[in-house]
């Protein structure tokens, strides 16, 4: 990560409205608004590329730390959601499941059944 990445993520964490405001209205206050604190735990040793094959690739996880070093972290999630914040903008592109794979499988592929819409999802 670059300094720009760190600054972007730090600002996002401090200003993202994920807490209730003083009236109890959800999603109206950020860490700074409630006078909260942040515990940031780097997980670079846990990040693996899993796009190829069946074995995780940890080559990109090597940084200044020690690969495979033990980390003991305990926490209690107080909320119905987990947020992943990334400083790099990317977009998920749907995969066309109706085309046969490039590995030369024969036969006709069956389109995947779409799951529930994100628009209809509820938080509990």
Supply the residues annotated as catalytic.
45
Q: How many residues does the chain have?
A: 124
Longest dimension (CA), the chain: 61
Question: In this structure, what is the dihedral angle of CA atoms 14, 19, 20, 26, given to the nearest 10 degrees?
Answer: 120
Per residue in 50-67, is it b (16+ CB within 10 Å) or e — as a string?
A: eeeeeeeeeeebeeeeee
**Residues 36 and 78 sit within 8 Å (Cβ to Cβ):** no
């Amino acid at each position: 990560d670059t300094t720009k990445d760190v600054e972007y993520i730090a600002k996002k964490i401090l200003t993202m409205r994920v807490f209730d405001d003083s009236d109890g209205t959800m999603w109206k206050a950020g860490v700074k608004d409630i006078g909260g604190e942040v515990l940031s735990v780097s997980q670079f040793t846990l990040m693996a590329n899993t796009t190829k094959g069946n074995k995780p690739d940890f080559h990109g996880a090597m940084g200044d730390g020690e690969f495979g070093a033990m980390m003991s972290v305990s926490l209690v999630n107080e909320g119905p959601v987990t947020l992943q914040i990334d400083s790099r903008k990317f977009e998920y592109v749907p995969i066309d499941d109706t085309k046969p794979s490039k590995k030369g499988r024969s036969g006709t592929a069956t389109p995947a059944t779409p799951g529930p819409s994100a628009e209809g999802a509820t938080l509990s």
